[in-house]
């Protein structure tokens, strides 16, 4: 198809880029990490967001190739940051379909070793569907990846088939509360304070790191802090930024 050709060319021509959205400590606003989000810079300069092409990439069977590009680009950037004393953790989004492909664990382990990524610096964000019904083999893959110090987050938590039964035994390090419970209603207050509180209890009881997504107002920060949530991400702090803008922001912040 036309899209398929376009994607192959885009990969060959390096038309993809990663932007980085800060993840901050709510108490101090210190930036402790970033989430990498892919963009497609087309030949005419137009920037496409993942919502405009990820589904198509999946459909034409190129999600593995794209996921491999993202992993490589993220680890390369992380290595540059670490070599320049930029103290950041990196989270990347992984498509469930890519995770299920044979060799995904070897790919991650090989890449992390080649860039000498220290333990705890790289995190993979996966949506709940991965954990609910993808079975034993995905769990094996996640365990192998964790052995080399790569962490695992459940993304968009609360919107999928959150299974309390599996949560306890799964190889997970972090829960990311979906932004619909934070700013989904459009008001200045938390959209769903009861739900954020409940997820907070769950994270604390299971000893999981917790990040609130989609924070847009100071009122939401105050309410989350009062509930014990210590990390957040959202337009209030920063949008996804190209590397040079992120670096300037870090300089201004420290
Ligand atoms: O800004 P935003 O439009 O960047 O991201 C929209 C969605 O696209 C998010 O749900 C995110 O999980 C997904 N996404 C962003 N970057 C990547 C990526 O590198 N790989 C995959 N598989 N999904 C991504
Ligand atoms: O599904 P995932 O969590 O990976 O999605 C990240 C997406 O959320 C990106 O498209 C990013 O641009 C968007 N996003 C990040 N912060 C905010 C926010 O504060 N408000 C809104 N509406 N979207 C946000
Ligand atoms: Mn994400
Ligand atoms: Na999310």
Cβ neighbors of 41 (< 8 A, separation 6 or more) are: 15, 16, 17, 47, 48
pTM score above 0.90:
yes
Q: What is the pLDDT of residue 134?
A: 63
Count of the separate structural domains present in the chain: 1
Is the model's pLDDT at 79 over the cut of 80?
yes
The Cα–Cα gap between 43 and 254 comes to 36
Q: Give me ligand 2 centre to Cα 75, in Å.
A: 22
The chain-wide mean pLDDT, for the chain, equals: 94
- Which atom of ligand 2 is nearest the CA belonging to 125? 4
Is the model's pLDDT at 170 over the cut of 90?
no
- Is the CB of residue 168 less than 8 Å from the CB of residue 192? no
CATH number where 16 lies: 3.20.20.450
Q: What is the pLDDT of residue 207?
A: 95
Residue 36: φ, ψ to 5°: -80, 130
Convert the pLDDT of each residue in 187-223 to its tens digit.
999 999 999 999 999 999 999 999 999 999 999 999 9
Q: What is the pLDDT of residue 161?
A: 76
Q: Give me ligand 1 centre to Cα 8, in Å.
A: 19
For the Cβ of 235 lying below 6 angstroms from any atom of ligand 2, the answer is yes
- Which atom of ligand 1 is nearest the CA belonging to 49? 3
User: For a substitution probing ligand 1, which of 38, 71, 97 has the most ligand atoms within 8 Å of its CB?
Assistant: 38
Convert the pLDDT of each residue in 130-145 to its tens digit.
877 667 788 899 999 9
Q: Which domain holds residue 90?
A: 2-253
Q: Give me ligand 1 centre to Cα 160, in Å.
A: 16
């Amino acid at each position: 198809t036309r899209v398929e050709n376009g994607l192959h060319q885009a990969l060959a021509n390096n038309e993809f880029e990663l932007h980085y959205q800060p993840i901050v400590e709510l108490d101090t606003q210190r930036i402790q990490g970033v989430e990498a989000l892919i963009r497609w810079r087309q030949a005419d300069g137009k920037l496409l967001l993942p919502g405009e092409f990820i589904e198509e990439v999946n459909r034409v069977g190129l999600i593995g190739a794209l996921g491999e590009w993202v992993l490589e680009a993220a680890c390369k950037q992380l290595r540059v940051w670490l070599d320049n004393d930029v103290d950041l953790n990196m989270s990347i989004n992984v498509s469930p379909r890519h995770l299920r492909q044979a060799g995904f664990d070897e790919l991650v382990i090989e890449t992390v070793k080649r860039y000498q990524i220290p333990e705890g610096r790289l995190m993979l964000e996966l949506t709940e569907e991965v954990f609910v019904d993808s079975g034993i083999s995905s769990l094996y893959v996640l365990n192998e990846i964790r052995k080399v110090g790569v962490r695992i987050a459940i993304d968009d938590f609360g919107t999928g088939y959150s299974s309390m039964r599996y949560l306890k035994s799964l190889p997970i390090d972090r829960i990311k509360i979906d932004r619909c419970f934070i700013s989904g209603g459009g008001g200045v207050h938390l959209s769903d304070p009861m739900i954020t509180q409940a997820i907070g209890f769950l994270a604390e009881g299971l000893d999981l790191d917790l990040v609130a997504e989609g924070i847009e107002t100071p009122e939401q920060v105050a309410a989350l802090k009062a509930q014990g949530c210590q990390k957040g991400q959202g337009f209030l702090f920063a949008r996804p930024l190209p590397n040079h803008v992120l670096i300037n922001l870090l300089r201004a912040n420290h």
